[in-house]
Structure 1
Amino acid sequence: MTMAGVAVIGERAQVSGWALAGAVVHAGEDAAQVREAWHALGDDVAVVVLTPAASAHLAGETARGGPLTVVLPG
């Protein structure tokens, strides 16, 4: 059985701890880094947790399909 993965994208200070829970962490401090991380997600990622800033940088891109996204409270 294959398990779907969880990825977290956002500012390093807010996302680094998620690695302890087994999530794949992509630190992105600006719009370009966040978009690069989003496009680099593997096919095995089913859920992406975004910081509020990362969500704003991806406005419109997450609605085009792909993994389920969740935005952390601000």
Structure 2
Amino acid sequence: MGHIAAIGEPLRILGLASAGVLLRPAEDPAAARAAWHALPPDVHLVLLTPSAADALGPEAADAQERLVAVMPP
């Protein structure tokens, strides 16, 4: 069974930890891209804040190995 990760601003993703989501705080675009590339292979769903999704651009949208969902603004 795969895991769930969240990438984005700490205040936006912090509450997901209580549901067992792997948190990858990212305050800026470079940190979001680094977090994306460092995700373990067993992560099957990634939740992105809108700014993290903007930082990743089509790379996240075109991901074949995992599902990606963008949080509402």
Q: Which residue of structure 1 lines up, in the alignment, with residue 69 of structure 2?
A: 70
Q: TM-score, normalization: structure 2?
A: 0.93
SS at match of 2:65: coil
Identity of aligned residues (%): 42
The Cα RMSD (Å) is 0.9
SS at match of 1:61: helix
Q: Which residue of structure 2 lines up, in the alignment, with residue 15 of structure 1?
A: 13
Please list every run of 5 or more consecutive structure 2 residues that lacks an aligned counterpart in the other structure.
Answer: none
Corresponding letter in the other structure for 2:70: V
Instruction: Quote the offset at 1:67 in angstroms.
Output: 1.1
Please list every run of 5 or more consecutive structure 1 residues that lacks an aligned counterpart in the other structure.
Answer: none
- Where do residues 46-61 of structure 1 align in structure 2 (5 Å cutoff)? 46-61=44-59
SS at match of 2:34: helix
Corresponding letter in the other structure for 1:67: R
Q: Name the count of aligned residue pairs.
A: 72
Any runs of at least 4 consecutive aligned residues in structure 1 with deviations exceeding 3 A, and if so which? none
Instruction: Quote the offset at 1:71 in angstroms.
Output: 0.4
Q: TM-score, normalization: structure 1?
A: 0.92
Corresponding letter in the other structure for 1:31: P
- How far apart are the structure 2 equivalents of 1:40 and 1:10? 14
Instruction: Quote the offset at 1:64 in angstroms.
Output: 4.2
Larger radius of gyration: 1
